[in-house]
Amino acid sequence: MPPGEAPSGKLPSGNAPSGKMPSKEVMPVTRMQFNYHTHTSRCGHALGADREYVEAAIAAGLRQLGFADHSPMLYPEKASGYYSASKMRPEAFEEYAGSVFSLREEYKGRIELFLGVEIEYYPECFDKTERFLRDRGLEYMILGQHHTRNEYDRGAVFVREPHPEEDKVLTEYTDTVVKCIESGKFLYVAHPDIARYTGDGDFYRKQALRICEASLRHNVPLEVNLGAFRGGNRYPSPAFWKIAGEVGSPAIFGLDAHTPGEFTGIPETIDAFLKETAGFGINYVKEPLL
């Protein structure tokens, strides 16, 4: 996401003073113009009406807003009625799509809206779920991997939690993220550094490199998760972003907004992250992705 950095030559006229592009150094890096990671109340743990998010994004000066609520998953029968409490129900998706599309019409000319989901790759239900979503107008997916395997499997791990075999968990998580980057199906990878790991630095580096190099190779950006940064979480992880900076992987800011209030104070938040990662050389995306 280009937090105010001049997209080379693609900035709509009217924003660059008298046709002259300011040099990169003087652009306000902290100005966010695009956010593709916005939740809605449908996932059960976000607050506010869709319209309030749109209004808040306009007030914050955004040009594009993507809704990417936690995707419904079409669990197989063998999961016998399993339901994830932190995701939208499948039957809510059509209403979600309708809401985004009608707001898009209503706010035309003020902000561009997009219909997306934050989705996990579960080998047994992903393809079927993707078809279901695309048939109902889905425009993009961001990968928000929080689990290994199929979530409902015995042995599936919530990767933010401590685990006695964290090398194994980190490897499995990384395998999935790399595979998803290579699939070309995802707009970007949300919180690529979410997996908890407290072990050996060289091992961590090896896994982080796999993600960063795949991101660079396939030009799939990695997200600096501002919601987690604000919340003082372990991620965004400086160790991870130092490696991403060295590799030159494309990076994008994402709010991961769960309330409309999170659209306030964005420049200050970005500024604080930039200070914390000064000298890392992170390669921020300068053009909108949609």
**Nearer to Zn ion (CB atom), residue 120 or residue 256:** 256
Give the C-alpha separation, 290 to 288, whole Å: 6
Considering the complex, state which of residue 130 and residue 256 has its C-beta at the smaller distance from Zn ion.
256
Q: Does 256 bind Zn ion (CB under 5 A)?
A: yes
Q: Does 139 help bind Zn ion (rule: CB under 5 A)?
A: no
Nearer to Zn ion, 27 or 190 (CB): 190
* 118/193 with CB nearer Zn ion: 118
Residue 275's Cβ-count burial label (10 Å; 0-12, 13-18, 19+) is: exposed
3-state secondary structure of 38: strand
Reading the block at residue 97, the tokens are 């799509």
Angle at 266 between CA 58 and CA 39, to 5 degrees: 65
Q: How far is the CB of 71 from Zn ion (least distance, A)?
A: 10
> Considering the complex, what minimum distance in angstroms separates the CB of residue 180 from Zn ion?
16
> Smaller CB distance to Zn ion: residue 6 or 224?
224
Could you give the CA distance from residue 232 to residue 234 in angstroms, rounded to a whole number? 7
**Residue whose Cβ sits closest to Zn ion:** 256
Q: Which is nearer to Zn ion, 160 or 242 (CB)?
A: 160
Choices 21-29, 48-56, 90-98, 250-258; region in contact with Zn ion by CB under 5 A: 250-258
Burial 174-194 (b: 16+ CB within 10 A, else e): bebbbebbeeeebbbbbbbbb
Smallest gap from Cβ 256 to Zn ion, in A, equals 4
Residues touching Zn ion, count (CB under 5 A): 2
Helix pair 201-218, 166-183: axis angle to 10 deg: 10
- Residue 120, interface with Zn ion (CB under 5 A)? no
Minimum CB separation from Zn ion for residue 163, in Å?
21
Q: How far apart are the first and last CA of the chain?
A: 11
Mention every residue, 6+ apart, whose C-beta is less than 8 A from residue 251. 221, 222, 223, 224, 241, 244, 282, 283, 284, 285
| Region 100-119 residues binding Zn ion, contact defined as CB under 5 A | 118
Structure tokens at 52: 């309030």
Contact characters 52-91, Zn ion, x per CB under 5 A: ----------------------------------------
Residue number, 118 or 166, with CB nearest to Zn ion: 118
Q: Minimum Å distance from CB 225 to Zn ion?
A: 8
**Alpha-carbon span 104 to 113, nearest angstrom:** 5
Provide, rounded to whole angstroms, the least separation between the CB of residue 105 and Zn ion: 26
CB atoms within 10 A of CB 9: 9
Interface residues with Zn ion (CB under 5 A) are 118, 256
